[in-house]
Structures are given as structure tokens and as C-alpha cells.
Amino acid sequence: MHTGTKIKLLREHHRFSQEFVASELKISQASLSRIESGRVNAKFKYFYSLAKLFGVNPNTLLDD
């Protein structure tokens, strides 16, 4: 599964809006949308913040 898809599924599972997650990462909602859709890859520096936000191991976010 693609990293962006995992991020979207975790975000929806936690009932977080794109706006909330984007603000936590200090990026725009449009940037998060592009990451979730797979149009761009998530920068490595976001993995720790996302993992902490979702309560998962950062490796969980890597492509399968």
C-alpha cells in the first residue's frame, strides 16, 4: 500500500481533517491532499510527526 493511502486511512480512522493534520505538519491542506493522492511523496521529515500524531511506528507509514 502506498504511503499516501496509509496516511489517508489513518487520518480518517482518527477522524482528523486534512486541515488539522496539515496544520500539525506546518504544510498546506493542498500539500497534504497531494501526498494522500500519491501525486507527491511525503518528505521523510514528516514521518515522525505523523507517526506520533497517529500513535503508530514510523515504519507503518512506509510503502509495502
64, pLDDT greater than 90: no
The closest alpha carbon to 50, from 39, 59, 38, 37, belongs to 59
**In the predicted model, what is the mean pLDDT of residues 14-43?**
96
pTM higher than the cut 0.85: yes
Higher pLDDT, 12 or 42: 12
CA distance 5 to 63: 9
Mean pLDDT of the chain: 94
Q: What is the CATH number of domain 3-56?
A: 1.10.260.40
Per-residue CA distances from 61 to 9, 16 (Å)? 11, 16
